[in-house]
């Protein structure tokens, strides 16, 4: 049985990354970025590999042509290689948003921007860029100006290489996303919120959602920073832990959101996506307040069924369609 296109491209990425990893003594993830750069440029850009390994790489690269693959096939193959590297070297900040969540997030962003042909989007915790790439792939019919921010230079390099492979124009910034952003206000913010404490107490002092004592919650600060980065009337889509509003800091967060935004939807994701109940998350949609924007008459609250339950999923999507038509002012931003 022949390999699928995704498997074929993954095998090339994986084998060539191993050659670079061993020859140059670099981590596998960095080697994945390097081999992605080679595939995109059509040449081997690293020095000191040696003639033998250079020939091996050229032979591997010669077995595939990127133009023969769809954007989704390229994204998935590249994602598999990155996931392999992350499993071998687990770090708290090296986590990738699952495909199923990325597809759902794309669907909801598409619904909330249905009548908009062009908009700008920011992911302030872009990581490897997989969530943003999924959205851009799924909403390819729209003219989207995309930005991504991450403090980890390895993740940004992976995001940059992935964007090149997919021919997506994404402006990427390597910086602490909770420091000052040099990006014009955007129409849409999307963020898989980094959950935990922000160690920079001096940096947190400028935020309304800073903790009264000790370190502040990074995920609270990301919500506030995202609202700063959005233009009035802009939509924000967060992946939040289900217990977001159950902590001691929750009353302050509720009051802040009441003042700054209108809650649009809380969509609890199916438990089948997560390893345990503590890891369960929801999609949280808010809209930055603006003079000409009214809050929805009713917040959309829903628990999504298992993604394998097509009948229940279709029924829920139909209800969501009706809610969007009645509450999003024709979806214009």
Which residue ranges make up each domain of the chain? 5-88, 99-331
- 3-state secondary structure labels for all residues of 216-243: EEHHHHHHHHHHHHEEEEEEEEEEEECC
Helix/strand/coil percentages in the chain, nearest 5? 50, 20, 35
pLDDT recorded at residue 95: 62
Question: Which homologous superfamily is 99-331 in?
Answer: Vaccinia Virus protein VP39 (3.40.50.150)
- The Cβ of residue 269 has, within 10 Å, a number of other Cβ atoms equal to 20
Q: Residue 161: its pLDDT value, please?
A: 98
Topology of domain 5-88 in CATH is DNA polymerase; domain 1 (1.10.150)
| Residue pointed to by tokens 């959309």 | 300
CA distance 261 to 192: 19
The pLDDT, as a whole number, for residue 330 is 46
Spell out, as residue ranges, where the chain has pLDDT lower than 50.
330-333
Please name which of 86, 79, 72 lies closest in space to residue 27, comparing C-alpha atoms: 86
Instruction: Give me the pLDDT at residue 10, please.
Output: 97
Query: What is the per-residue pLDDT for 331?
Result: 42
Identify whether the C-beta of residue 219 lies closer than 8 Å to the C-beta of residue 196.
yes
């Amino acid at each position: 049985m022949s390999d699928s296109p995704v498997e074929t491209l993954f095998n090339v990425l994986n084998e060539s990354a191993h050659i670079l990893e061993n020859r140059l003594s670099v981590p596998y993830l960095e080697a994945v970025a390097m081999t992605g750069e080679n595939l995109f440029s059509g040449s081997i850009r690293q020095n000191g590999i040696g003639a033998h390994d250079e020939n091996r790489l050229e032979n591997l690269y010669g077995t595939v042509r990127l133009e023969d693959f769809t954007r989704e096939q390229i994204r998935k193959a590249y994602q598999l290689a990155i996931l392999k590297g992350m499993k071998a070297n687990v770090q708290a900040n090296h986590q990738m948003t699952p495909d199923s969540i990325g597809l759902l997030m794309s669907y909801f962003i598409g619904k909330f921007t249905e009548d908009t042909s062009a908009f700008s989007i920011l992911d302030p915790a872009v990581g490897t860029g997989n969530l943003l790439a999924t959205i851009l792939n799924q909403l390819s019919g729209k003219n989207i100006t995309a930005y991504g921010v991450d403090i980890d230079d390895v993740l940004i390099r992976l995001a940059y290489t992935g964007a090149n492979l997919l021919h997506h124009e994404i402006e990427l910034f390597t910086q602490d996303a909770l420091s000052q952003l040099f990006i014009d206000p955007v129409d849409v913010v999307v963020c898989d919120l980094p959950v935990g404490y922000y160690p920079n107490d001096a940096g947190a002092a400028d935020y309304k959602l800073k903790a009264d004592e000790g370190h502040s919650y990074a995920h609270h600060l990301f919500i506030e920073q995202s609202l700063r980065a959005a233009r009035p009337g802009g939509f924000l889509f967060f992946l939040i832990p289900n217990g977001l509003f159950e902590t001691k800091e929750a009353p302050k967060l509720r009051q802040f959101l009441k003042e700054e935004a209108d809650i649009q939807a809380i969509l609890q994701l199916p438990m089948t996506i997560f390893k345990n109940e503590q890891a369960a998350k929801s999609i949280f949609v808010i809209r930055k307040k603006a003079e000409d924007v009214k809050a929805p008459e009713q917040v959309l609250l829903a628990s999504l069924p298992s993604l394998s339950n097509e009948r229940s999923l279709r029924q829920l999507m139909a209800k969501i369609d009706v809610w969007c038509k009645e509450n999003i002012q024709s979806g214009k931003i």
